């Protein structure tokens, strides 16, 4: 199995999740990890599975992630299976309440990334996932790296059959 983990990271939290996912994918075959700022569209082709992750910034994916995914021509990812994740503050950790309300209504990066991938023709595997950070700059909350490993394991097992 050939897997690409495409990610963006500002404070290292999303990169840590990407590393955990890549480690799990490595047990199933060939894996590459590419930061979105260094990615080229052709790298997305020819993979059995594409993991895409970004920190949630302003209720969406990072600017770099969004720009890269929006640049992909419609249908260019036809036949590519994709799993999506983000890093985020948990709703209960968002203050004040008005911002928490906005976050709940606007959503996180995972949903926006999934929509961009679908527009490019990818088959987005559900559920997408979000991994919680303790504060806006991190670190990952306790147990989140383990949860990411388990999620990646389930995604990989689902497409191995």
pLDDT score, position 161: 55
Summarised one tens digit per residue, pLDDT across range 78-111 is 999 999 999 999 988 988 998 888 888 889 999 9
Instruction: Give CA separation, 56 vs 31, 109, 110, in Å.
Output: 24, 5, 8
Domain of 153, in residue numbers:
2-160
Contact 75, 120 (CB under 8 A): yes
Report the domain count for the chain.
Answer: 1
| Cα–Cα dist 88/120, whole Å | 25
- Give the CATH number of the domain where residue 54 resides: 3.40.50.360
pTM for this model (two decimals): 0.95
């Amino acid at each position: 199995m050939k897997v690409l983990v495409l990610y963006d990271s500002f404070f290292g939290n999303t990169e840590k999740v990407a590393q955990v996912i890549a480690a799990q994918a490595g047990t199933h075959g060939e894996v590459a990890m590419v930061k979105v700022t260094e990615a080229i569209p052709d790298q997305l082709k020819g993979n059995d599975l594409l993991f895409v992750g970004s920190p949630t910034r302003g209720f969406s994916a990072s600017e770099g992630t969004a720009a890269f995914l929006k640049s992909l021509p419609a249908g260019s990812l036809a036949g590519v299976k994709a799993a999506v994740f983000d890093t985020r503050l948990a709703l209960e950790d968002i203050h004040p309440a008005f911002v928490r309300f906005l976050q709940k209504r606007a959503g996180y990066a995972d949903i926006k990334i999934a929509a961009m991938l679908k527009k490019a023709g990818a088959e987005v595997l559900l559920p997408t996932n979000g991994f919680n950070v303790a504060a806006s700059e991190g670190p990952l909350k306790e147990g989140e790296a383990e949860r990411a490993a388990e999620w990646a394991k389930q995604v990989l097992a689902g497409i191995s059959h």
